[in-house]
């Protein structure tokens, strides 16, 4: 301690009342590097830490705003029967649902909108992880079916941003039924010859991974996103082996062929627009500055020799 922090600073603070005038929510702490970030800087950086590049979780509405051009239209989703099993644990499911609905101003964990991504028409569905962990019940299933139908109706590609803990256990078997339902929905898009692109965000797990999330024509993910079916600890205990570093993270899955690309949030819009352009009108793909290779595959850690040309012996 020196005289500045002990004596001068408290004096100045009492003089100007500085402590009271700075609300707590102006600064955010990065969960990865623990650096403080000013809220305006964080918004400008699309909620990516300017110090370490950590992609923070963002809400569904923010996702739509970051992805679609101005003037996109959010569509009303069909209302599903709430709490069909009258489920109760420590609290009634209906109470949990109502609390999430009023806090987040949405009916369930998915928002659907149509509009354009840098001029390319698209239907976008975005998961809200803050809504009961983005879990998939009848409401989410219905949202996915609606998004797929809308894509077919509008002859537009379907882009889904996933962030989910899996099945909504409060809906029991009804929750599990959403897996085949959403799969059928994505098949409708495929049968109509329309691109279906999945962007896996942190975290994409459980029933969502086990159904429509793994059926995209192209699989993208945000850097560092956790993607898997069961949790790492459960797997470790089952196979009784230490799991490799980076297991179930986007970069690891890219190296092992589950993903096509890992794309930074700042490049997501341009990448999606370019991919849609390539898939829909290959001859008229937009020439943007942010050209990204279609498959940005890093050199594999093992078996790298297979990719190199074979040198003739002798």
Residue ranges of the annotated binding site for Zn(2+) are 30, 33, 49, 52
Confirm if 122 and 115 have CB atoms less than 8 A apart.
Answer: yes
Binding-site members are 30, 33, 49, 52
Q: Which is nearer to Zn ion, 13 or 35 (CB)?
A: 35
| Identity of the residue, 54 or 92, whose beta carbon is nearer to Zn ion in the bound complex | 54
Give the number of other CB atoms < 10 A from CB of residue 183: 15
CA atoms of 156 and 140, how far apart (whole Å)? 21
Should residue 235 be labelled a site residue for Zn ion when binding is judged by CB under 5 A?
no
In this chain, which of 54, 92, 96, 149 binds Zn ion, going by CB under 5 A? 54
User: Of 32-40, 103-111, 221-229, 283-291, which segment contacts Zn ion by CB under 5 A?
Assistant: 32-40
Q: Mapping DSSP to helix (H, G, I), strand (E, B) and coil, where does residue 134 land?
A: helix
Up-side HSE of residue 215: CA atoms within 13 Å toward CB? 17
CB of 36 to Zn ion, least distance (A): 10
30 lines the binding site for Zn ion (CB under 5 A): yes
Which residue is it, tokens 């500045």?
4
Q: Which of 158, 231, 228, 162 is nearest to 200 (CA)?
A: 162
At closest approach, how far in Å is the CB of 33 from Zn ion?
A: 3
- 165's CB contacts (< 8 A; 6+ apart) are 129, 133, 134, 135, 203, 205, 206
Q: Which of 121, 127, 128 is nearest to 150 (CA)?
A: 121
Contact 189, 196 (CB under 8 A): yes
Give the integer Cα–Cα distance in Å for 218 and 49: 27
| Closer by beta carbon to Zn ion, 33 or else 243 | 33
Identity of the residue, 8 or 33, whose beta carbon is nearer to Zn ion in the bound complex: 33
Q: Pairing state of beta strands 261-262 and 218-221?
A: parallel
Of 30 and 226, the one with the shorter C-beta distance to Zn ion is 30
Footprint of Zn ion on 124-183 (CB under 5 A): none
CB of 208 to Zn ion, least distance (A): 27
* Contacting Zn ion within 34-53 (CB under 5 A): 49, 51-52
- Number of residues lying near Zn ion (CB under 5 A): 7
Comparison of 30 and 250: residue with beta carbon closer to Zn ion: 30
Question: Judged by CB under 5 A, does residue 33 bind Zn ion?
Answer: yes
Minimum gap (Å) between residue 50 Cβ and Zn ion: 8
32 is a contact residue toward Zn ion (CB under 5 A): yes
Residues contributing to the site for Zn ion (CB under 5 A): 30, 32-33, 49, 51-52, 54
């Amino acid at each position: 301690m020196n005289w500045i922090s002990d004596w001068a600073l408290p004096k100045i603070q009492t003089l100007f009342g500085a402590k009271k005038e700075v609300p707590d929510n102006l600064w955010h702490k990065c969960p990865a590097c623990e650096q403080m970030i000013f809220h305006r800087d964080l918004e400008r950086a699309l909620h990516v830490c300017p110090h370490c590049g950590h992609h923070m979780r963002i809400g569904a509405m923010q996702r739509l705003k970051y992805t679609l051009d101005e003037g996109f239209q959010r569509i009303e989703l069909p209302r599903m029967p709430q709490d069909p099993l009258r489920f109760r644990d420590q609290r009634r499911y209906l109470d949990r649902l109502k609390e999430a609905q009023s806090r987040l101003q949405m009916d369930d964990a998915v928002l659907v909108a149509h509009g354009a991504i840098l001029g390319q028409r698209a239907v976008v569905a975005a998961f809200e992880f803050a809504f009961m962990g983005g879990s998939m019940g009848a409401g989410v299933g219905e949202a996915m079916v609606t998004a797929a139908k809308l894509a077919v109706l509008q002859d537009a590609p379907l882009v889904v941003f996933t962030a989910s803990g899996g099945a909504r256990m409060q809906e029991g078997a009804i929750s599990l039924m959403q897996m085949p339902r959403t799969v059928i929905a994505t098949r409708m898009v495929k049968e109509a010859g329309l691109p279906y692109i999945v962007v896996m965000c942190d975290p994409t797990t459980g029933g969502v991974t086990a159904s429509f999330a793994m059926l995209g024509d192209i699989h993208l993910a945000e850097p560092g996103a956790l993607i898997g079916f069961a949790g790492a600890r459960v797997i470790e205990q089952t196979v009784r082996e230490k799991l490799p570093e980076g297991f179930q993270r986007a970069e690891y899955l890219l190296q092992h062929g589950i993903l096509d690309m890992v794309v930074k949030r700042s490049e997501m819009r341009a990448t999606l627009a370019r991919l849609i352009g390539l898939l829909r009108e290959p001859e008229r793909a937009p020439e943007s500055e942010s050209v990204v290779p279609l498959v940005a595959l890093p050199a594999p850690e093992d078996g790298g020799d297979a990719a190199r040309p074979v040198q003739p012996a002798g």
